[in-house]
């Protein structure tokens, strides 16, 4: 979410670091390393997604001092790669932002948790819910996992950002509501539309790129 130094207290940095390390370790355990080594299509998707996200995250808008917003795109990557590989693609993109000076390296864990891990897990949770419901129309995958998943992931990531900034004392609750919370629909909707359109295009032209899609359910 374009966070900068000085916004968080020491205990928040330690807490987010522990959560980040836990999420990173779980992503590593669940990553299909054999497929990643042997499937060039997966390799191209992962590295291509990292590069595209890395440059996409360069474009952002500032709301509060030290806090800016940008499109996440993690939902589309999660639907293409699964949540564990999406975490590594997102962290690689975040590394690009650090190297270009757009993000401070001191907040790599915080940004990684909020910008990458939480949206990826929320999206995958929506995928599991959609599977459990047993929908037989492929529009359910597009709209529930793509559009709704992206909007929900962004809303939860934004809500977590607000909670951290408020509990850390960086901003008062009134400031956050006035200058951030009320603008959240303005970036939740574009996030849902962009990710949904990407998934729709892949569904039509390259459904094999969607690792979370089971075509047999919709035929």
Q: How far apart are CA 7 and CA 81, in angstroms?
A: 32
Q: Is residue 135 part of a domain?
A: yes
Q: Is residue 212 part of a domain?
A: yes
HSE toward the beta carbon, residue 180, CA cutoff 13 A:
26
Give 102's DSSP letter: S
Q: Is residue 1 part of a domain?
A: no
What is the pLDDT at residue 21?
A: 96
What residues make up the domain containing 171? 10-218
Most confident of 58-62, 79-83, 180-184, 215-219: 79-83
Instruction: Indicate if the pLDDT at residue 60 is higher than 80.
Output: no
Q: Is residue 49 part of a domain?
A: yes
DSSP string, 24-91: HHHHHHHS-HHHHHH-HHHHHHHHHHHHHHHHHTT--EEEETTEEE----HHHHHHHH-HHHHHHHHH
CATH number for the domain that contains residue 71: 1.10.1760.20
Q: How far apart are CA 87 and CA 93, in angstroms?
A: 10
Domain count for the chain = 1
Q: Is residue 3 part of a domain?
A: no
Q: What is the pLDDT of residues 136-160, one digit of tens each?
A: 888 889 999 999 999 999 999 999 9
Q: Is residue 167 part of a domain?
A: yes
What is the pLDDT at residue 65?
A: 66
What is the pLDDT at residue 73?
A: 93
Q: What is the pLDDT of the chain when averaged over all its residues?
A: 89
Give 103's DSSP letter: S
Other CB atoms within a 10 A radius of the CB of residue 64 amount to 15
Cα 136–137–140 angle (5° rounding)?
110
Instruction: Indicate if the pLDDT at residue 63 is higher than 80.
Output: no
Cα 1–86–98 angle (5° rounding)?
45
Instruction: Indicate if the pLDDT at residue 2 is higher than 70.
Output: no
Q: Report helix angle 184-205 to 74-81, nearest 10.
A: 30
Q: Is residue 2 part of a domain?
A: no
Q: Is residue 118 part of a domain?
A: yes
Instruction: Indicate if the pLDDT at residue 5 is higher than 70.
Output: no
């Amino acid at each position: 979410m374009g966070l900068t130094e000085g916004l968080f207290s020491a205990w928040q940095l330690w807490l987010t670091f522990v959560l980040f390390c836990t999420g990173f370790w779980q992503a590593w355990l669940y990553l299909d390393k054999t497929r990643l080594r042997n499937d060039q299509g997966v390799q191209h998707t992962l590295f291509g997604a990292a590069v595209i996200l890395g440059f996409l995250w360069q474009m952002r808008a500032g709301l509060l001092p030290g806090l800016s917003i940008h499109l996440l795109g993690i939902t589309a990557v999660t639907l293409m790669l699964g949540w564990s590989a999406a975490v590594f693609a997102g962290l690689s993109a975040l590394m690009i932002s650090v190297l270009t000076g757009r993000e401070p390296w001191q907040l790599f864990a915080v940004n990684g948790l909020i910008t990458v891990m939480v949206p990826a897990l929320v999206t995958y949770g929506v995928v599991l819910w959609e599977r459990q419901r047993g929908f037989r129309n492929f529009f359910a995958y597009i709209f529930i996992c793509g559009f709704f998943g992206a909007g929900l992931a962004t809303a939860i990531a934004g809500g977590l950002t607000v909670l951290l900034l408020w509990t850390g004392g960086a901003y008062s609750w009134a400031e956050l509501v006035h200058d951030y919370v009320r603008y959240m629909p303005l970036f939740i909707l574009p996030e849902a539309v962009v990710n949904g359109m990407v998934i729709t295009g892949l569904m039509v032209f390259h459904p094999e790129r969607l690792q979370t899609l089971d075509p047999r359910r919709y035929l």
